[in-house]
Amino acid sequence: MSDSLLGLDEPAQPSRGGEAYRVLARKYRPQTFQALIGQEAMVRTLENAIRRDRIAHAFLLTGVRGVGKTSTARLIAKALNCIGLDGTGGPTIDPCGVCEPCRAIAEGRHIDVIEMDAASHTGIDDIREIIEASRYAAVSARYKIYIIDEVHMLSKAAFNGLLKTLEEPPGHVKFLFATTEVNKVPVTVLSRCQRFDLRRIPAEKLAEHFAAVSTQEGVSAEPEALALIARAAEGSARDGLSILDQAIAHADTEGSGVSAAAVREMLGLSDRGAVRDLLALLLAGDAPGALAALRRQYDYGVDPTGVLRALLEAVHGITLTKVGTAEDPAQPAEERAAYREWAEALSFPLLHRLWQLLLKGHDEVARAALPIEAAEMTLLRVIHARSLPDPGELARAITKGEGPAATSPQSASAAAPAPAPAPVAVVEEPAAPAMPETFAALVEQMEVHGHHLLAVRLAHGARIVSYQPPEIVLSGTRPIAADTLSETAAALRTITGVAWKLSLLDAPGEPTLKEAQDAVAEAERQAVLASPIVQAAMEAFPDAELIDWPNKRNSA
């Protein structure tokens, strides 16, 4: 096993029966600065400081979980106290790992290197012990070192008690603080420390590290499986090694190596190919197919939020490809090819609209009482928005006076030239299409041609200011959706073969068809109530109500 990869909590011990298994996160904890992954800038700074004898008295290490904060603190402790193979060495960026101080620190038994968990030692009394003990020189090491993990958990009194000692500690004392929430550390403490921000480890470096670990463990692993684990780790080496440990155990039960399919199943991730198929269905406007694909993922045990997150990642990847960023080497070749194809076909406005819709849907599904139903509604909303005209093109068309119908997808498809008719013996001028004489006749024509929902929306919401086919002016005082205008224009173009122009005017307009129908029905009702026979019946039966009468109009 290579020295750069081998990282043990303790030196190798002779084999003995029944020895407890050490998880990979402990077994491969880095024991040299070179074994730290993705922290080259910090290592270079420490190397220069040690070489020039400019070692700070207090260090603050911050970063997300599992990037190596505590491991780095132990490495600094070894670097400052290493005496080398011959016992005469000084502080070095390359501790030997075999001298007594190095071994004792690695085993956690060095009397002058004190580790404390601030989560369980939060009070001022614990800090008083540190302050009192710091006055005395180190017993056997060059420096007495205090490593306080999760330092942000200390109480306000504990921080205040530590300030004076932290600012002017004895020359033989060094403080090493580690925290995942640096914003909770008082500014007075931050100003007294040399701060190192440990970066998230890139996914490609994690995948390389996991591949090396798998090789050392004698386990075969698919590159895609390691890439999935690296993505799931979110920059944390410890989290990734824990997932890899679980994946190896799963592979042992299956009698094979670590496969991408097994990792997806273990993590509950949506299959990348299934996500691409679902995105293709969304872009094609295939609502039944998209809902069926979502249900298949749900039946496989994939969480609906996971599906939407995967769709978000796909849209983000397509956008980056369209911008021209470097391709992710961890991506499968077929995924990169699909992203390139979509990047050429989709515009930036459409990609941004997809991102916003999916992001809003992801938040809704995460909070929904019915997650799968909320996810289905999100997909349907995306499909509907996909068919809407681009807002920029629509604004330009309105500026040119072409109206909303000029840019709607339906009118664009209807405007496509029809195939030329077959030649006949007698050529006659085609008769002009018959225009509906009234708005009510127009709504009836739309109903006949299958535009039921649109006809209902017009009958209930449209107030006519001017009806002069093929131009209609509607009242803007009654709210009416902009997409209703464009859809109506497109439907009328299909029905009549003529381009219609619909617009809004700030004028009262005539009553809607529904209001007119209700008015007629109410007039008939009042006429029936005014008849002598009905009045006589009402006087004889005061609690009676008029429910039905001959020729009653349907006012529902």
pLDDT 10s digit of each residue in the chain, 556 long? 344 444 444 444 444 445 677 888 888 888 888 888 888 888 888 888 888 888 889 999 998 888 888 888 988 999 999 988 888 888 888 888 889 889 898 888 899 999 988 888 888 988 898 888 888 888 888 899 999 999 999 999 999 998 988 888 888 999 999 998 889 999 999 999 999 988 888 888 888 899 999 888 888 888 888 888 888 888 888 888 988 888 888 776 555 688 887 887 777 666 677 888 899 899 888 889 999 989 888 887 788 998 899 899 899 999 999 888 887 766 667 788 888 888 888 888 888 889 999 999 999 999 989 999 999 999 999 988 866 666 666 666 666 665 554 444 444 444 444 444 444 444 444 444 567 888 888 888 888 888 788 888 888 888 888 888 888 888 877 666 667 777 888 888 888 888 888 888 777 788 888 888 888 888 887 887 787 877 777 777 777 777 766 665 544 4
In a domain, 431, yes or no: no
Neighbours of 379 (CB within 10 A): 23
The answer to whether residues 104 and 207 belong to one domain is: no
The answer to whether residues 226 and 346 belong to one domain is: no
The answer to whether residues 136 and 257 belong to one domain is: no
Give the E-state strand segments of 436-551 in sequence order: 464-468, 471-475, 501-505
pLDDT at 298: 86
Sequence-separated (6 or more) residues with CB below 8 Å from residue 451: 491
Q: List, in sequence order, every residue forming a beta bridge with 175; answer none if it has no partner.
A: 58, 146
Report d(CA 25, CA 370) in Å as an integer.
37
Could you tell me the CA-to-CA distances from 65 to 211, 234, 240 in Å, in that order?
Answer: 21, 10, 11
The answer to whether residues 172 and 251 belong to one domain is: no
CATH number (domain holding residue 255):
1.10.8.60
CB 67 within 8 A of CB 200: yes
CATH number (domain holding residue 354):
1.20.272.10
**And the tokens for 444?**
């009836």
Report d(CA 361, CA 363) in Å as an integer.
5
Please provide the DSSP assignment of 286-346 as one string: -HHHHHHHHHHHHHTT--HHHHHHHHHHHHHHHHHHHHTPPPPTTS-HHHHHHHHHHHHHS
> What pTM did the predictor assign?
0.56
Task: Count up the domains in the chain and report the number.
Answer: 3
**And the tokens for 241?**
């090694």
The alpha carbon torsion through 146, 152, 153, 155 (nearest 10 deg) reads: 90
CATH number (domain holding residue 113):
3.40.50.300
pLDDT at 401: 62
The answer to whether residues 56 and 191 belong to one domain is: yes
pLDDT at 85: 85
Helices assigned H by DSSP within 324-450? 333-345, 348-367, 371-386, 391-399, 409-414, 439-448
| DSSP code at position 234 | T
In a domain, 538, yes or no: no
The answer to whether residues 145 and 223 belong to one domain is: no
Residue that finishes a domain, picked among 338, 370, 386: 386
pLDDT at 271: 67
The answer to whether residues 51 and 193 belong to one domain is: yes
In a domain, 360, yes or no: yes
In a domain, 251, yes or no: yes
Report d(CA 556, CA 497) in Å as an integer.
32
In a domain, 277, yes or no: yes
The answer to whether residues 162 and 233 belong to one domain is: no
| Rg of the chain in Å (alpha carbons) | 37
The helix (H) or strand (E) run that includes residue 492 is helix 482-496
Residue that finishes a domain, picked among 145, 168, 197: 197
Report d(CA 381, CA 383) in Å as an integer.
5
The answer to whether residues 105 and 226 belong to one domain is: no
- Residue 222 gets the label, from left (phi > 0), alpha (psi -120 to 50) or beta, of beta
In a domain, 458, yes or no: no
Q: Locate tokens 């916003």: which residue?
A: 356
Neighbours of 371 (CB within 10 A): 17
Report d(CA 32, CA 72) in Å as an integer.
9
In a domain, 382, yes or no: yes
In a domain, 519, yes or no: no
The answer to whether residues 156 and 212 belong to one domain is: no
Residue that finishes a domain, picked among 386, 404, 419: 386
Q: List, in sequence order, every residue forming a beta bridge with 194; answer none if it has no partner.
A: 59
Neighbours of 503 (CB within 10 A): 15
Residues in the chain: 556
CB 242 within 8 A of CB 24: yes
- Burial (0-12, 13-18, 19+ Cβ within 10 Å), 334: exposed
The answer to whether residues 299 and 152 belong to one domain is: no
Q: List, in sequence order, every residue forming a beta bridge with 464; answer none if it has no partner.
A: 474
The answer to whether residues 261 and 289 belong to one domain is: no
Q: Which domain range does residue 131 map to? A: 39-197
